């Protein structure tokens, strides 16, 4: 069974937070595979370093803003 790791940022190696996420992702992907779920923020697409991790599946989700969020919580 794959593990699931969720992050609120695009997986790019520009901050200490994402370097830590990279280390965790590599460790988890090596065991039984990993789905990394992320919201596009501070980057348009994941870095090549994340895409090169064997056993990782990168899945982008789109956060709701504005009217869509208002309708969901009305």
| Model pLDDT, residue 51 | 93
Residue 69 is predicted with a pLDDT of: 63
Q: Containing domain of residue 52, as a range?
A: 3-73
Asked whether the predicted pLDDT for residue 73 surpasses 70, the reply is no
Tell which wins on pLDDT, 67 or 58.
Answer: 58
Q: Is the dihedral of CA 19, 22, 27, 30 positive or negative?
A: negative
Using one digit for the tens of pLDDT, what is the confidence trace for 7-63? Answer: 888 898 888 888 999 999 999 998 789 999 998 877 788 889 999 999 999 999 887
Domain count for the chain: 1
> What is the model's pLDDT at position 14?
83
* CATH at residue 69: 3.30.160
Token pair 């992320």 in the structure block, residue: 38
DSSP 8-class letter at 70: H
Spell out the residues 6+ positions from residue 63 whose beta carbon is closer than 8 angstroms to its own: 39
Nearest to 22 by CA among 73, 62, 58: 58
Six-digit token pair at 28? 């988890």
């Amino acid at each position: 069974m794959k593990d699931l790791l969720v992050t609120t940022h695009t997986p790019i190696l520009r901050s200490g937070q994402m370097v830590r996420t990279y280390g965790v992702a590599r460790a988890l992907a090596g065991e039984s595979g990993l789905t990394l779920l992320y919201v596009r923020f501070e980057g348009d697409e994941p870095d090549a370093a994340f895409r090169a991790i064997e056993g990782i599946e990168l899945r982008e989700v789109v956060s709701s803003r504005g009217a869509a969020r208002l309708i969901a919580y009305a």
